[in-house]
Structures are given as C-alpha cells and as structure tokens.
Amino acid sequence: MPTHPVVIGVDSSTQSAKAVFIDAVTGRTLAVGRAPHQVSGEGGARESDPEVWWHALCEAVTTGLKDSGLSASAVTGIAVAGQQHGLVVLDRAGRPVRPALLWNDTRSAPQAAALTEALGGPDAWTARTGSVPVASMTAAKWQWLREHEPRSAAAAAAVRLPHDFLTERLAGTAATDPGDASGTCWYSTATGAYDPELLQLIGLDGDLLPPVAATGAARIGSLTAAAAGELGLPAGIAVAAGTGDNMAAAVGLGLGGAGLLDHPALSLGTSGTVFAASRTRPASAALAGFAAADGTYLPLACTLNCTLAVDKVAALLGLHRDTAEAGGEVVLLPYLDGERTPDLPAASGLLMGLRHTTTRQQLLGAAYEGAVVTVLRALDEVLRACGLDAADPEVAARPLLLIGGGARGRHWVETVRRLSGRPLVIPGSDELVALGAAALAAGAATGEDPVALASSWQGGGGTELPPVERDMETWERVSDVLERAAPTLLG
C-alpha cells in the first residue's frame, strides 16, 4: 500500500469515463476504473445525456477505488478532463434541459458559417478567439439551439461545457478553465476573458456561464458531502478547475511552460489531433488557437475521422485492422462523419483509383493513409503558429509524440512514420488525458506546477522509433485528390 498521497484524474470522453488513481509523488498508476457513455443521433446529430456522464464518473471512481485496495483517506484531490466543445444547458435545479450537443454534432455548420460572416470573416474571429467557428465549436451549437429549439434555449439557467458540468457536481461550485473555455468561440484568448461582443452576437447572457479559473490546476473548491457519498471518497478533498481533453493530454505529456514548448504531438483517437504548447498566441484560420491549461497556448488542428472511421472501413471489408497494406494507387478519404479539418461538415467518404488488381487490404491501407495525411497536413500550420519553420532541419528532427489508441496499433504507427518521415516517441502511459487531469488535481492539492509534475512522473519513458524515408508519392497522391475534390465532391 502506498504511503504517498493519491490523486484521481478523470478522462470523460465521448465514449466512456476513466478514473485513474495516481501516486502523487511517483506518478505510478495504482488503478483505473472505467464506465461507458451512450451517444445517440443519426445523420449529423450526436448527443449524450450529461447525467449518464455523472453516473459513469461515479462508477469509474468507485470501481477504481475498489480495485486499488486503497483506503479512501489516501485520496487528496480530483480533476476532470472532458471532451471539448459540448453544449450542456441546465435548468434552475442544475439538471439538463435536453441531451448535450457533442463536439462531433455537425448540424450547426450553417450557424458556424453565418457567425463567421457576421463578425467580418475568419481573421476577425482569430484576432479575438484564436479560432474560427466551425460546427464543432460551442457558439455554433448554441446558435443552432436558439434557432431550432428556442424553448430549450429560453429555459437555460446555466450553460456549461462537459467538464464544467462534472466539476460543478464535484465541488458544488461553477467553474471552467481557460483551456476548455477557449474552445467555445465566446472566450477571447486575446483578453483572457469572455468576450461581451461575441456573447451579444450569439444572444447568450454571460451570467449563464461559469467563472474562469486562472488555470486548470486552480483549486475551485472542495468535494461536497453529497458527491463524496456517491464516490466513496472523503468530503473536503481538493477539486481542481480541470480542463478539456486535449489540454489535459498536453499536461500529461509534459508540454507547457515548465516542460516542452513548441514540440508537436499527434493523437490518434476517435478524432485525430495535432498540437503543441507555445508561448506564442496562435491566430490562424487554419487551426484552433486554444489556450493551454497552464497559462501557455495550444495551437491545435482536429479531424473528425480517425480510428473509428478506419475501423468502420475494416468492418465493411471484413478485415482485422492490422491486415492492411499500403494503398498503392487507391485513395480513400474516410470522411464518414463530415470533416472538421478541412472544414467540410457535409462531406462523405471518397474512393478513387480503384483497379482490378486492388485488394481489400490495400483499400483498408488507403483508409489509414487518407486519415493520416489529413491530420499531418495540419502539422506545418501548427508549427507556424508556434513561430517555427517546418523546413528547418532542427524543427523537422523533433520527434513527433504519438498518443491515443491508434498509437498502440501497428499499422497506424507504420503509416504515420512512412507519411511524416519524422522520428516518433510513443509515451509509456496509455492514459495521458487522465494523467494530465491527475497532475492538475495534484497541483490543486499541493500548489505544485502540474506540467513539471507530469514530466517527472513520465520520467522519459516510452518507445522511440527512428525516422524512415518519407513516402512522398503517396503523400502527394492523397493530397492532390483532397485538394481537387474538396471544393466539389465533398463540400
């Protein structure tokens, strides 16, 4: 049994809740509890009941505590990292008015386009928020709600992000952090506060929003007696402000002011993301210019279609995901849920270059290539947002940190190596979002810097893979199809 204090990091993702129990001194994972979420909706709709998130969090914590064999008295802090952008609308009793609109709900694409135009175009938005509205962003979802369900919008007594909703249940105190707030398009990364003009533009009363803590590690309160009873934890332990899942992953990787700056990471999950922590405030229409959880910035590009889309292609072909082969002449853009980067919310999958000699394994390999090229095309833009030249040999030699479920898949790793030409580092931890949340919890409990803590916990572990020669033929073939097809076939 550990004699050190224990902290809990919760990763509340689209599909599940994970509660990771971490030794706050050594960073050793003591237990992981899990519970599923449910997502509903057809076409562009993607919704979940926030109450399910809370029940899943409770189940994950109680299961992890039981499996760890720990005394609950060892736990000193908890923090939640949640899926970004989701719109949670609460009534006066703090209960959801309707299911939450999730980040990958694309119905608000017309509202996003209208908002972009209303402020004067992409540059006007990036100057204020660092990001341009797309269907994923919370402001577009709120606008969709106002137009399509005005009674739900009128009934709102509070508006929250997914991690805000859960944090408030823990502490009984409303709070968010700069990182997750920066994904709403009503928070200004230029001023570090909600933007009154943007709130007026979307018809949202700022009093409905939670206060913004200084950082994700800020202690915003203590675990209430009611929440403690449901979780089996002591009342009064530290509750951190928490953050969005991408921001927490950056903390877990040791990216930020007390760790690595301007160092790229690529996450292969339901979505594909590429990001880096930087002291330079990003303002590029080609990416999301988020704030980071520790007070730095997190330029990030996100694609909707990654591991889930490729797994769907594998299922359609009757293949295991690791039986894929290089695609040859075939190009397959697996945009099964529309696409966010590039901004093509109405897109569908596209197959080109089919021959009599094409095999099922090549078709599956082409799906991998389409997904990987899509997310890697944003890498240079992320580096530029950090003030770096991607062609600089020193910059090009920086290892790409590869994380997410896909980082454990052989063909995902091989495809990223082949199409990026970069060295890769695959960190040892499988739960970087939860690890980052645990570091935020430890910061709230002790006042220590969470990025420095996470860096010490990781201890440089992981798998290092040297670069291989870049497959420029495949890169150019897929990029050419994407550039030619996007304005016509996919828009």
Interval 223-262: pLDDT, tens: 999 999 999 999 999 999 999 999 999 999 999 999 999 9
Same domain? 276 vs 385: yes
Q: Which residues pair with 96 in a beta bridge?
A: 90
The shares of helix, strand and coil residues in the chain, as percent rounded to the nearest 5, are 40, 20, 40
Domain that holds residue 34: 6-245
- pLDDT (tens digit per residue) in 421-477: 999 999 988 899 999 999 999 999 999 999 999 999 976 568 999 999 999 999 999
Q: What is the mean pLDDT of residues 201-222?
A: 98
**Beta-sheet pairing, 463-465 with 400-403:** unpaired
| Phi (first) and psi of residue 292, to 5 degrees | -95, 170
Q: pLDDT: is 24 or 396 the higher one?
A: 24
Per-residue pLDDT, averaged over 36-57, amounts to 96
CB 189 within 8 A of CB 289: yes
**Is 85 annotated for ligand binding?**
yes
Segment among 132-146, 357-371, 477-491 with least mean pLDDT? 477-491
pLDDT of residue 3: 75
Residue 477 and residue 331 in contact, taking contact as beta carbons nearer than 8 Å: yes
The reply to whether 452 falls in a domain is: no
In the listed set 245, 273, 302, which residue is the last one of a domain according to the structure?
245
CATH number at residue 197: 3.30.420.40
**Residue 1: which pLDDT band, with cuts at 50, 70 and 90?**
low
- 288-291 and 272-275: which strand pairing? unpaired
262 is an active site residue: no
Q: Considering the domain boundaries, does residue 440 fall inside one?
A: no
What pTM did the predictor assign?
0.90
Torsion sign over Cα 412, 415, 420, 426: positive
Q: What is the reported pLDDT for 224? A: 98
pLDDT at 322: 93
Give the model's pLDDT for residue 2.
55
pLDDT at 283 over 90: no
Q: How many domains does the chain have?
A: 2
Q: What is the pLDDT of residue 481?
A: 94
Q: Tell me: do 150 and 88 sit in the same domain.
A: yes
Residue 82: closest CA among 154, 176, 153: 176
Residue 21 inside a domain? The answer is yes
Q: Which of 217, 245, 273 is the last residue of a domain?
A: 245
Q: Is the pLDDT of residue 292 over 80?
A: yes
Are 40 and 129 found together in one domain? yes
Asked if 130 and 218 sit in the same domain, the reply is: yes
Residues 6+ apart with CB under 8 A from 215: 177, 178, 241, 293, 294, 295, 443
Residue 487 has pLDDT above 80, yes or no: no
Say if 180 falls within a structural domain. yes
Task: Considering the candidates 245, 294, 337, 343, report the single residue annotated as catalytic.
Answer: 245
Residues 148-167 have a mean pLDDT of: 98
Instruction: Examine residue 336 and state whether it is found in any structural domain, yes or no.
Output: yes
pLDDT of 286 > 60? The answer is yes
Residue identified by tokens 């577009």 is 140
| 390 — pLDDT class (breaks 50, 70, 90) | confident
490 has a pLDDT exceeding 70: no
3-state SS assignment for residue 93: coil
Report residue 163's pLDDT band, with 50, 70 and 90 as the boundaries: very high
Are 100 and 149 members of one domain? yes
What CA–CA distance (Å, rounded) separates 168 from 387?
37
Q: Phi and psi of 303, rounded to 5°?
A: -110, 150
Same domain flag for 209 and 306: no
- Average per-residue pLDDT in the chain? 94
Whether residue 222 is found in the same domain as residue 275: no
Regarding whether 186 and 48 lie in a shared domain, the answer is yes
Residues 239 and 368 reside in one and the same domain:
no
For residues 323 and 384, state if they share a domain.
Answer: yes
Residues 326 and 212 in one domain: no
Last residue of a domain, one of 198, 222, 245: 245
Same domain, 115 and 226: yes
- Tell me which of 48-52, 160-164, 298-302, 459-463 is least confident: 459-463
What pLDDT shows up at residue 458?
78
